[in-house]
């Protein structure tokens, strides 16, 4: 009797890097689609969902896409027709695959919001014969609105599968020695390239509403831990401070706020500043537009003299070595 059993691929391990996400283009509709998915996540917006959907659809998604589109247009990589976050995440995946260099290990990437989706990539890895899945959320500091929602979507995706792969999720790595070393080296390299000495180094992390911290979210503590470890390991005596950026809406968020601090520092005779965003694995609209462009303009407009920004680790060798080290613990 002819064997009619379908071919089943097996024997491989899939490694999936997952970042926040990005719109497909800078068009109003693509921005709106992306924002709708992002701002509909109940891990991100913890308010009454019925009331929030009214506010979101009637007001926010009517007016905010235009503002967000302007920001993305400033940093969009026109030659590649993609956002920097998409480009660098893709490069991280490719370089990590080459670094691991094992024919039985497949490395790919996905986005929590937008494309490529987590579900599509998990299905793709399974189709390639991946019986084991290792997920690396690209958030050094754990937060419910970042790492946890990635885990939620991974679990939801697996719940739709008849034949699930085994699953391992790599935890937050805010104090990993290779991560701290890479951040310190990026700061030191930047300082060596400027002809002035910073009065202070600002470590700016994405903020979260204070009530999330009050409910027990450890994110605030992990950010301060990262800054402390940078201060202890970096080869400079320049003081380093922690601030929080990208707040949204009227409620109180983690403080001190990055934008308010940038306005205040020149008045405190700190007119030369170097800014780094250790919580972002890739440069994106929050680092390139909000900090490197808008933040710089605000600082200089408030009386500052010199402003410089340390690029995220992106796809540099130290970052890929960190990822390889994190992944190898689970292979």
Provide mean pLDDT across the span 261-269. Answer: 98
Structure-token pair, residue 312 = 């995220």
Q: Average model confidence (pLDDT) for the chain?
A: 97
Report whether 286 contacts 294 (CB < 8 A). Answer: no
Tens of pLDDT, residues 191-205: 999 999 999 999 999
- CA torsion angle for 194, 274, 44, 166 (degrees, to 10)? 50
Provide mean pLDDT across the span 66-90. Answer: 98
Provide mean pLDDT across the span 64-72. Answer: 98
Question: Looking at the predicted structure, is the pLDDT value of residue 288 above 90?
Answer: yes
- In this prediction, residue 54 has a pLDDT band, given cuts at 50, 70 and 90, of very high
Residue 9 has what pLDDT?
87
Structure-token pair, residue 9 = 């691929």
Tens of pLDDT, residues 157-185: 999 999 999 999 999 999 999 999 999 99
Structure-token pair, residue 224 = 């301060």
Closest CA to 16 of 101, 79, 78, 109: 109
Question: Looking at the predicted structure, is the pLDDT value of residue 1 above 90?
Answer: no
Tens of pLDDT, residues 204-245: 999 999 999 999 999 999 999 999 999 999 999 999 999 999
Report whether 38 contacts 138 (CB < 8 A). Answer: no
Provide mean pLDDT across the span 100-122. Answer: 98
Residue 61 DSSP SS3: helix
Long-range contacts made by residues 239-243, C-beta under 8 angstroms, separation at least 24? Answer: 239/200, 239/201, 240/200, 240/201, 240/202, 240/203, 241/200, 241/201, 241/202, 241/203, 242/203, 242/205, 243/202, 243/203, 243/204, 243/205
Question: Looking at the predicted structure, is the pLDDT value of residue 2 above 90?
Answer: no
- Please indicate whether residue 305 or residue 7 has the higher confidence score (pLDDT): 305
Provide mean pLDDT across the span 37-51. Answer: 97
- In this prediction, residue 6 has a pLDDT band, given cuts at 50, 70 and 90, of confident
- In this prediction, residue 4 has a pLDDT band, given cuts at 50, 70 and 90, of confident
Structure-token pair, residue 45 = 């917006």
Q: Which domains does the chain have, with CATH numbers?
A: 12-172+318-328 (3.40.50.1400), 177-310 (3.40.50.1400)
Provide mean pLDDT across the span 55-72. Answer: 97
Residue 61: HSE in the Cβ half-sphere, 13 Å Cα cutoff: 19
Residue 8 has what pLDDT?
80
| pLDDT above 90: percentage of residues in the chain | 96
DSSP of 229-278, one letter per residue? HHHHHSS----EEEEEE---SSS-BSSSBHHHHHHHGGGGT--EEEEE-T
287 φ/ψ angles, rounded to the nearest 5 degrees: -95, -45
pTM of the model as a whole: 0.96
Residue 134 DSSP SS3: strand
Angle at 35 between CA 34 and CA 36, to 5 degrees: 90
Residue 217 burial by Cβ neighbours in a 10 Å radius (0-12, 13-18, 19+)? buried
Residue 31 has what pLDDT?
98
């Amino acid at each position: 009797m002819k064997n009619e059993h379908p071919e089943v691929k097996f024997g491989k391990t899939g490694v999936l890097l997952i970042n926040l996400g990005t719109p497909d283009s800078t068009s109003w509709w693509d921005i709106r689609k992306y924002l709708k998915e992002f701002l509909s996540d109940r891990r991100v917006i913890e308010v009454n969902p019925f009331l929030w959907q009214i506010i979101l659809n009637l007001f926010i998604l009517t007016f905010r896409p235009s503002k967000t589109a302007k920001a993305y247009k400033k940093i969009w990589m026109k030659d590649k027709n993609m956002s920097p976050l998409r480009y660098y995440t893709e490069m991280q995946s490719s370089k990590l695959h080459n670094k691991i260099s094992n024919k039985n290990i497949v490395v790919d990437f996905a986005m929590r919001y937008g494309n490529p989706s987590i579900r599509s990539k998990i299905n793709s890895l399974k189709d390639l014969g991946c019986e084991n899945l290792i997920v690396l959320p690209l958030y050094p500091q754990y937060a419910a609105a970042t790492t946890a929602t990635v885990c939620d979507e991974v679990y939801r995706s697996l719940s739709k599968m008849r034949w699930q792969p085994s699953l391992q999720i790599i935890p937050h790595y805010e104090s990993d020695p290779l991560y701290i070393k890479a951040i310190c080296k990026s700061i030191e390299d930047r300082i060596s390239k400027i002809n002035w000495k910073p009065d202070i180094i600002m470590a700016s992390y994405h903020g979260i509403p204070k009530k999330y911290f009050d409910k027990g979210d450890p994110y605030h503590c992990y950010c301060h831990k990262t800054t402390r470890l940078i201060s202890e390991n970096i080869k400079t005596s320049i003081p380093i401070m922690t601030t929080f950026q990208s707040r949204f809406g009227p409620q109180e968020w983690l403080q001190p706020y990055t934008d308010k601090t940038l306005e205040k520092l020149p008045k405190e005779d700190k007119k030369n500043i170097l800014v780094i965003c250790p919580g972002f694995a890739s440069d994106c609209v929050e680092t390139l537009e909000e900090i490197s462009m808008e933040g710089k303009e605000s600082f200089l407009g408030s009386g500052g003299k010199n402003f410089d920004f340390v690029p995220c680790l992106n796809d540099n060798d130290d970052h890929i070595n960190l990822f390889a080290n994190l992944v190898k613990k689970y292979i």
